[in-house]
Amino acid sequence: MIENEKAYNELRNDENDNKPEDQVMRGLIHIYCGDGKGKTTAAAGLAVRSAGCGMKVLFAQFMKSGPAGEINAFKKIDGITVLRGEGDTKFAWEMDEREKAAACRMQDVILQKAAAWAEDYDMVVLDEAVGTCGAGFLELKKLYDFLDHKPEKLEVVLTGRNPADGLIERADYVSEIKKIKHPYDRGICARKGIEQ
């Protein structure tokens, strides 16, 4: 097994040696979108994979602050830093105008911190940033600005429903997760370890 692993690693190194430098070093932009379950799960899995390869990952969550299994797991993994808002986050339709204004300020702070810290990371995940923009809690222009001026080697992962055309244009990967069936349609709420 060790000999095969050594040969595989040598082959991978040879492949990278023959690629133009921008293909090896340039960070790309990913979007996981759609109405199906699994957008955050996919981003979390990619964060774990990257950390397992020695990369430093910043996992920033927008409009989420409650208990979450991925956050508990990240605390046990070297190389992943979590950035989240404070307090309990309600759904948009549950908020009054004062709460909406406070939520907007919090999402703006999260993006500002992610942008300021980006230089120190290999990957930044902006979980639910797409949906946060769509719901009017984060200015799309500010997200564009971050993407247009990100460090060249930084890999960026965005999740959320209904990405704007400008986000799709900027992305290198766009994966849509389509709902065929979901237990919520039968009144089954989010379950610990599965949806949260």
**CA-to-CA distance for 98 and 104, rounded, in angstroms?**
10
CA-CA distances (angstroms) from residue 119 to 97, 115, 146? 35, 8, 12
| Whole-number pLDDT of residue 12 | 59
Q: Is the pLDDT of residue 88 over 70?
A: no
Element (H, E) at 29: strand 29-33
> Which value, to the nearest 10 degrees, does the dihedral of the CA atoms of residues 40, 42, 47, 51 take?
150
Instruction: Please give the torsion angle defined by the CA atoms of residues 60, 144, 133 and 97, in that order, rounded to the nearest 10 degrees.
Output: 100
Question: What's 25-180's CATH class?
Answer: alpha beta
Q: Which tops the pLDDT comparison, 31 or 90?
A: 31
pLDDT beyond 60 at 186: yes
Residue 53 corresponds to which tokens in the numbers above? 């390869």
What value does the mean pLDDT take over residues 161-167?
97
Residue identified by tokens 């602050």 is: 65
Out of 92-96, 101-105, 177-181, which region has the weakest mean confidence (pLDDT)? 92-96
Q: What is the pLDDT of residue 90?
A: 73
Phi, psi of 31 (to 5 degrees): -130, 130
Longest Cα pair distance anywhere in the chain, in angstroms? Answer: 63
- pTM for the model: 0.82
Each residue of 8-22: pLDDT tens digit?
Answer: 566 556 555 555 554
Q: Which residues of 127-151 are buried (b: 16+ CB within 10 A; e: fewer)?
A: bbbbbbbbbebbebebbbebbeebe
Q: What is the pLDDT of residue 1?
A: 45
Alpha-carbon 32 to chain mean position: 8
* Banded pLDDT at 51 (limits 50, 70, 90): very high
Domain boundaries, the chain: 25-180
Mean pLDDT of 147-158: 98
Q: How do residues 99-129 score in pLDDT, each as one tens digit?
A: 889 899 999 999 999 999 999 999 999 999 9
The answer to whether residues 99 and 90 touch, using CB atoms and an 8 Å cutoff, is yes
In this prediction, residue 65 carries a pLDDT of 81
Give the pLDDT of residue 22: 47
pLDDT of res. 66: 81
* 65 and 89 Cβ atoms separated by less than 8 Å: yes
